[in-house]
Amino acid sequence: MGYPILTVQEMRDWEASSWEAGLNPRDVIQRAGSLIAKAILERTRPNDRVLLVAGPGNNGNDARACALQLTDRDTLLIDVTDPELGLSQLRQALDMPFSLLLDGVFGIGLNRNLEGPWRQIIELLNLFRCQRIALDCPSGLDADTGRARGACFEADETWTLGAPKAGLIAEKAPPFTGRIRVFSDLGLIGRPVASSPLLWMADTDFGRFPSPRNVDGHKGSFGHAAVVAGSSGYHGSAVLATYGALRARPGLTSCIVQPEILAVVAAQLAAPMVRAWTANLRLPETTTSLLLGPGLAATELSIALRDWSLRLWNDFEAPLIFDASSLAWLPKRVPISRYCRVITPHPGEAASLLGCKSEQVQADRLTALRLLSRQLGNVWVILKGYQTLIGRSEGPVWINSTGNIGLAQGGTGDVLAGFLGGLLAQPRLASIPERTLPYAVWEHGAAADRLERRTRNWTSEDLAEEIGSGRSD
């Protein structure tokens, strides 16, 4: 599941082994050109003006192959193998209206800083006001480190070929790469050898997940999700998290809230069982997953709630998710549980748990995830943020490829936490967290993408309605 993240050398090795096996490089160039042309046709309309900028290397060859297949677009191909001539042509084109610009100047082989007319070409490309697409790698970006080499094309999207490159997911790369899309079907032979444990999640990973339910199933077949959430001033978190759980369709759902908000939460939830939390509360015996934390932020919360929650970390014999405020209750070290344990920190929460600054977490998110998992008993960590990571102290770590800036609003994390709880309540899905957790994060982002395509003013409530609708049984 997922595409491996490759260094430049690993990509070169994959290509070399394919040539040795008899694959013709020209066929791969034609295939790349065809895939990119198809994507451009999907993004534009007949007679739209498209600008393709082709450089001296294989990226330029891919762009040239693409140009031949844009038959019903007003296509301008500028060849910048001569930088002075290319710069002059681009200056003339700057006044023309384009629907889309494809940057094929430099690819992953760039190994020097850009100066003189080459730098001016990249700076000029950044002035075009249309869809800006980088072919394979933004020109000027170091494909191993993610750093700009003097100047760098600022893409709305990067359409990378074969597999994602390490530099595209580096900390400083997003302003240049924009959103990343992988075109894997180049015909290269075999699977590349990758040194990184990171895997880029693809849309095709979840085409049949979750699998269809048995026709003779009943409520008891699909578990009982319990959500402990909400406090004075934060009742909405309990509602959103519970709706997220419902969208995963467990057999039963319980919402357990602080007594002072019981009435207002119960009035908004029809399907779940809603009850007040007390210090001697016993969860229903049928409970198969438990989410703790969304909206448990009121200053008057009792120490008893924290102690009750920590006992469950040790004693609850089913999947348990600590989210939001409850993360601050975790001690520096916890014993390893034989049951699934999940934490969902954003970078600031991760930094607090690790005793460092959020900038340090962001500088090396993989290491932060590994340290958190090890510190907390090999728990599953969902390190939220741009390109959310999912993994543990060892083994593969998945990078989420979905989602958009619309998720940067209060309540979207509550929906994700509830969706996780609703999925893990189902015994079949709880038995494969390495599939279920990446799916939950992927679908959360995919739901946001579906909403973004329909309207730009969607809310967390809309997300709670949309999540889980990406496929049907």
CA 262 to chain centre: 34
Query: Residue 228 in contact with residue 240, Cβ under 8 Å?
Result: no
pLDDT grade for 471, boundaries at 50, 70 and 90: low
Is residue 11 helix, strand or coil? helix
pLDDT digits (tens, 9 = 90+) for 179-201: 999 999 999 999 899 999 999 99
Q: At what angle do helices 58-67 and 25-43 cross, to 10 degrees?
A: 60
Q: Is the pLDDT of residue 463 over 60?
A: yes
pLDDT for 300 equals 85
Task: List pLDDT tens digits, range 269-299.
Answer: 999 999 999 999 999 999 999 999 999 999 8
Alpha carbons 9 and 426: distance in angstroms, whole number: 43
pLDDT at 136 over 80: yes
Amino acid at 346: H
Do residues 298 and 233 touch, judged by C-beta distance below 8 A? yes
Per-residue pLDDT tens over the stretch 399-443? 999 999 999 999 999 999 999 999 999 999 999 999 999 999 999
pLDDT tens column, 253-269: 999 999 999 999 999 99
Residue 472, pLDDT score? 40
- Report the run of H or E that residue 41 belongs to, with start and end: helix 25-43
Secondary structure (DSSP) of 357-398: -HHHHHHTHHHHHHHHHHHTTS-EEEE-STT-EEE-SSS-EE
Indicate if the pLDDT at residue 119 is higher than 50: yes
Specify the pLDDT at position 247. 98
SS3 content of the chain, % helix, strand, coil (to 5): 40, 15, 45
CATH class of the region 219-466: alpha beta
d(CA 181, CA 66): 17
Q: How far, in Å, CA of 352 to CA of 345, rounded?
A: 10
Alpha-carbon span 202 to 163, nearest angstrom: 11
Q: Is the pLDDT at 71 greater than 90, yes or no?
A: no
Distances (CA, A) of 84 to 29, 50, 51, 79, 115: 26, 22, 18, 11, 12
Domain ranges of the chain: 3-194, 219-466
Cα-Cα end-to-end distance for the chain: 21
Q: What's the length of the chain?
A: 473
Residue located via tokens 């997300």: 463
- Cα 350 from chain centroid (whole Å): 18
Q: Are 61 and 75 in contact (CB under 8 A)?
A: no
Q: List strands edge to edge, sheet with 74-79.
A: 74-79, 49-54, 100-104, 131-135, 157-161, 179-183
- CATH number, domain 3-194: 3.40.50.10260
| Consecutive H or E run containing 102 | strand 100-104
User: pLDDT for 9-47, tens place per residue?
Assistant: 999 999 999 999 999 999 999 999 999 999 999 999 999
Kindly list the distances between the CA atom of residue 442 and the CA atoms of 45, 134, 346, in Å, as whole numbers in the listed order.
30, 24, 16
The yes-or-no verdict on residue 473 having pLDDT over 70 is no
Q: Is the dihedral of CA 29, 35, 38, 39 positive or negative?
A: negative
pLDDT mean over 372-392: 97
